[in-house]
Amino acid sequence: MSDASAVIEWMRTAEATIEAEARPDPPEMFIWEAYVSTAVYNAVVGVEGRFTPYKWDERAPRTVSSAAAAASAAHQVLRHYFPRAAPRLDATLTGTLAKIPDSEAEDRGVAFGKRAADHVIDLRRDDGRGASVPFPARPGPGVWRPTPPDHTPFATAWIGRVRPLLLDSPHQFRPGPPPAMRSARYARDLHELAAYGGRTGSHRTPEQTDTARYFTNLDLQGALGDHATRHGFGIAETARLYAAANTAQADAVIAAWDAKLHYGTWRPVTAIREADTDGNPATRADRHWEPLLVTPAHPDYLSGHATMGGALMRALTGVLGTSRVDLHIRSTTTGASRHYRYAHQYEQDVVDARVWGGIHTRTADEVGSTTGRRLAAWALRKYFRPVP
């Protein structure tokens, strides 16, 4: 096997293991993947050099197998958090190592990968993952409350308080408040949603409907691996690509959820149905309005998906050194694949998709995308830098 394929294989294994064992809500997935990809990154660059390790300073001789180190690091992180998956993980590791020549280099790589994993596990101990974080606001005009059809409580509120991987705090890039309910911008947001985001009677084109559904859930890990393969990335470049993309998205989720907790704004389905309580003469209530997509169980501002989209694209353009990201991304919801040549095309589609799906205001999307770009740009000045 090529050295880089060990990273790609184990990020695929990580995704499958996390989905099967944790059954996470989509935002949580990026936090788990960031744990794995930082351990793999440290294991690889600790051997190969080229880039600065993530919050670590250990090194291994260049004669050590970096592919064995990468596989061992991912295996150790996943085995620690998901012990029930140990038999499958052990079998996968055995299969990976069978493709690497038996030698002292392989054995030392396995040992070094375990150390890299243990370091990340130690870094993330007591980081607030899964903690009980109550939503403090009382429902009223403009304030989030559980939405139809299931009226699920804000169960993932802990994400807004978890310790970031790159940022100094969850609120480091907290934006200013959303538009006041009596403002013209607020009214424009609601008018657009009522016209383009409804399940029935919408002005959406079929293409816009496809875009809304496409972005429900994406195979981004597969897109990263495909990019690395097609562009002939080595193992260090591949590990860096995953680590930068996944940590930026994880911190984007954390930043977005911090804003959700802080501002606690109601979702479009509530805002449109109860527009007669918002004090804005330019809005009109529609008690029967339903969004195209089912509304996720957390506040509107900021849009998590748009914040992650901005962070992902800024991380990739920073790592790749170009706005031409060249990503083939498959939607696991619709099965459709799209090719994004440039970063701005992806960001714009994410913003539009959440409006056309009826689940976010355009302001929550656009401010989220900007916030994601800002935090990723800051992070890349500190982390995953080339070694001088």
CA distance 116 to 359: 40
To which H or E segment does residue 339 belong?
A: strand 337-342
**CA gap 168, 326 in Å, rounded:** 31
* Cβ atoms of residues 94 and 56 within 8 Å: no
pLDDT band (50, 70, 90) for residue 388: confident
Q: What's residue 268's pLDDT?
A: 98
Alpha-carbon Rg for the chain in angstroms: 22
> Within a 13 Å sphere around the CA of 237, how many CA atoms are in the beta-carbon half?
14
Determine the Cα–Cα distance for residues 98 and 156; give it in Å rounded to an integer: 40
Residue 202 CA, chain-centre distance (Å), reads 29
Helices (H), the chain: 3-21, 26-48, 66-81, 86-98, 104-123, 184-196, 206-214, 220-230, 235-263, 268-273, 304-320, 343-356, 362-380
Please state, in angstroms and rounded to a whole number, the distance separating the CA atoms of residues 12 and 154.
29
pLDDT tens-digit profile of 126-177? 999 999 999 877 889 999 999 999 999 998 999 999 999 999 999 999 999 9
pLDDT category, 220, cuts 50, 70, 90?
A: very high
Contact 223, 327 (CB under 8 A): yes
- Segment 26-36, tens digit of pLDDT: 889 999 999 99
CA distance 33 to 29: 6
Q: Report pLDDT for 2.
A: 62
pLDDT, one tens digit per residue, over 257-272 is 999 999 999 999 999 9
CB 239 within 8 A of CB 24: no
Mean pLDDT on 171-197: 98
**Arithmetic mean of pLDDT over the chain:** 96
Q: Which helix (H) or strand (E) holds 337?
A: strand 337-342
The residue whose two tokens read 């880089």 is: 4
Q: Dig out the tokens for 77 from the structure.
A: 């992180």
Sign of CA dihedral 337, 343, 345, 350: positive
Q: What is the pTM of this model?
A: 0.96
Question: Going by C-beta distance under 8 Å and a sequence separation of 6 or more, which residues neighbour residue 363?
Answer: 178, 179, 185, 186, 189, 301
Rounded to 10°, the helix 343-356/206-214 angle is 100
